[in-house]
Amino acid sequence: MTGSPPTALRPQHPSPRSLRGLAEAFDLEVRGELGDLEVTGVVLNSSMVRPGDLYVGVPGRNAHGAAYAEAARDGGAVAVLTDAAGAGIAADAGLPVLVTPDARAALGHVAAWIHRTDENPATLFAVTGTNGKTSVVHLLYGMLRQLGVVAGLTSTAERRIGDEVVTSSLTTPEASELHALLARMREVEVRAVGIEVSAQALSRHRVDGLVFDVVGFTNLSHDHLDDYASLDEYFEAKRELFLPDRSRRGVVTVDSEWGERLVAESRIPVTTLTTRPDVDADWRLTVLEESPTHTSFVLEGSGGRRLQTRVPLLGWYMAANAALAIVMLVESGYDLEQIAQVLDRDGGIDAYIPGRAERISGERGPLVYIDYGHSPDAFLQTLGAIRRITTGKLIMLFGADGDRDTTKRSDMGAIAANGADVVVVTDFHPRFEDPAAIRAALIAGARAAVPDREIHEVPDPREAFRTALALADEGDAILYAGPGHEDYHEVKGVKIPYSARDDATAALREAGWGE
C-alpha cells in the first residue's frame, strides 16, 4: 500500500488541554485520579496511540475497544473514554476512565474540544450524494488553488494538506482523525477545506463537532442498501447534513425528485442548480461540448451572472460537478467574476481527480478510461458519456463488491449490457463472498437485459483487461469500472496489491499502444 505515514494526519505542535477541563466540559463521570493530567490528542485505534492521547474504546463487531486499554496505556495514553460496559473492561489498565453513555456519539465533540476546531479560520465545504462527491471536492480544491488559496481536502481517494498527499482508507475519516487533520491543516495555514461526506459518516458520527460553511448535494440513486433499509432511509441519512447544527448554507442539484425533496425539507438556506431545461432553479448548467479530454459548459444565474469554461474530464456529469463546486464557492463569498477571470486565464479548471473517468490511453489505439463508479447510475452516466465520443465499439469491464449491497448487481449487469457492445465481467473485491456467485449475478442481469450481448467472464482482473484490450481497435473505447484510484484487490480479508491504472497502462504498452 502507498501513501504518507499516518503522522501527516495529526498536528505537529498540539496544544495540551486539561483532562479535568474535558471531563467538566462534557459532564463525564470520572473513575480514577485526573490530577494535572493533560491531553494532546484522541484516537480510536490503540495501535495509533501517542504519548498524551486520550484513547476511546467503543463496542466493535468482535470485541469492545476498551479491551485494548492496556495496549493504549503502553503506547502512552493518559486516559480512556468509554461507556459503562467499557469502563469495567478498561479498569485493569490503571488509567483514569472517563465514562459517557455513548463514546462514539461523544467522539466528534470531544475531538473538536481537544483540537480546538472552533478556532480554525478555514472555510469548510462538504459534499454529499451518491455519485460525484469525490469529483466535487477535488474540483473545489483545484479552483481554490487557482484563486491563490491554500486549500485542503479529504475524499475517498486521498487527503490533501496543501501540497501534501495521504492515501485515504474511508470516504470520511473517523471523527478523531478528521479533527486532527483539520488541526494539522491549521498549522500550515490552510484557508479552505473540502470534505466528502458519506451517508455512513453522518449515521456514524464521523463529522460531529463540525459546522460547515457551505454544503452541496449531487444526486441520490441506488446504493448502500446493505446499510440502509430503503432509499428513503438512505436519503434521510444524507438530509442530516442540511440541518442548522451541521451547516450554514447549502447548494442542491435539483435534477431529480430527491433534490427537490431536499430543498423542501432543508432547514438551512439553499441555492438550487439544474442541468435540465425544464426545471426551475437559481443556476442553470448548459453543456457546450463533450470530448475525450474535456467538457465545456456555461453556467448562468440570476441577474445576468454567467461563466463559461471547461473541465479537463469526460462527461456532462463532470460539468455538473464543476458547476456545483463553482456555486458553492460563490455561496461562500467568492466573486463569480473573479472565478471566471482565473479560469479564463488558465484555460479552464485545473484539477486532477484520481480514478474518476480518468483517461489512461495515449493518442494511438482505443480510448481507455478507469473509473471508480460501482453503482447502477454511475455505470449509466459514464457509459453514456463515452458512447457520445466513441466512433467504434464500446467495451465495458467491471465486477462487483463482495459483502456489499447485493440488490444492485442485476441492474449493474443490465446497464452494462444495454450501454456497451461487449461486456467483460471480472472479480472486484470479492472479500469473503464466492467470486463465481458474484460474477454469475452480474452476468444474469446482463443476459436478462440483452440476451445476445457478447459477454466474457474472466475472473483475474489482469487477464480480464487484456481480454478487453485484445477485442479493441483504433476508434474503440474501454471503460474499466470499479477500481478507480485503488491500489489493492481484497480477497478473504487480504488486500493484494493491484492498481488498475498501472496494470492497464502496462497492458497498453504491451499491446503496442503506449504513448
Structural fold of domain 6-115: 3.40.1390
CATH 3.90.190.20 fits 358-510, yes or no: yes
End-to-end CA distance of the chain: 27
Residues 6+ apart with CB under 8 A from 163: none
Amino acid at residue number 164: E
pLDDT of residue 515: 60
pLDDT at residue 118, rounded to an integer: 94
What's the whole-model pTM score? 0.90
Residue 6 has pLDDT above 50, yes or no: no
All three cell numbers of 358, joined, read 480518468
Q: Above 70 in pLDDT, residue 222?
A: no
Length of the chain: 515
Tell me what the mean pLDDT of segment 73-92 comes to. Answer: 97
Q: Which residues in 346-382 are b (16+ Cβ under 10 Å) and which e?
A: eebbebebbbbbbbbbeeebbbbbbbbbbbbbbbbbb
Q: Is the pLDDT at 164 greater than 90, yes or no?
A: no
CA distance 311 to 290: 10
> Which segment of 79-88, 303-312, 479-488 scores lowest on mean pLDDT?
479-488
229 pLDDT band, cuts 50/70/90, is confident
**Reported confidence tier of residue 373, pLDDT bands at 50, 70, 90:** confident
pLDDT, tens digit (0-9, with 9 covering 90-100), for 398-453: 999 998 889 889 999 999 999 999 999 999 999 999 999 999 999 999 999 999 99
Other Cβ atoms less than 10 A from the Cβ of 476: the count is: 21
For 264, the enclosing helix (H) or strand (E) is helix 257-265
As a 3-state breakdown, the chain gives helix, strand, coil percent values, each rounded to 5, of 40, 25, 40
pLDDT at 3 over 70: no
Mean of the pLDDT values across residues 149-164?
91
State yes or no: pLDDT of 8 exceeds 80: no
Q: Is the dihedral of CA 348, 352, 353, 356 positive or negative?
A: positive
| pLDDT (mean) for 343-364 | 92
The C-alpha atoms of residue 161 and residue 151 are separated, in whole angstroms, by: 7
The yes-or-no verdict on residue 165 having pLDDT over 90 is: no
pLDDT of 225 reads 61
3-state secondary structure 98-113: EECCCHHHHHHHHHHH
Query: What average pLDDT does this structure show over 141-169?
Result: 90
Contact, 224 vs 232, CB < 8 A? no
Statement: residue 387 has pLDDT above 50: yes
- Least confident range of 142-146, 164-168, 201-205, 450-454: 164-168
C-alpha pair distances (Å), 170 with each of 42, 175, 353: 18, 11, 17
Range with the lowest mean pLDDT among 5-9, 60-64, 215-219, 423-427? Answer: 5-9
In sequence order, what E strands does 47-191 have? 53-57, 79-82, 97-99, 123-128, 151-154, 158-161, 164-167
Q: Is 216 a residue whose pLDDT tops 50? A: yes
Mean per-residue pLDDT, 153-161: 90
pLDDT at residue 223, rounded to an integer: 62
Contact indicator for 83, 90 with CB cutoff of 8 Å: no
Q: Which residues contact 473 (CB under 8 A, 6 or more apart)?
A: 365, 366, 392
Q: Which residue, chain included where needed, has cell 496505556?
A: 73
pLDDT interval class at 169 (50, 70, 90): low
Instruction: Check residue 221 and give its pLDDT.
Output: 82
Give the class (CATH, top level) of 119-346.
alpha beta
Sign of CA dihedral 332, 335, 339, 345: negative
138 close to 321: Cβ distance less than 8 angstroms: no
The whole-number pLDDT of residue 374 equals 79
Per-domain boundaries in the chain: 6-115, 119-346, 358-510
Q: What angle do CA 309, 214, 168 make, to 5 degrees?
A: 85
Angle between helices 435-449 and 409-419 (to 10 degrees): 50
How does 422-457 read in b/e, with b if 16+ C-beta sit within 10 Å? bbbbbbbbbbebebeebbebbbebbbebbeebebbe
The residue type of 250 is: G
3-state secondary structure of 314: coil
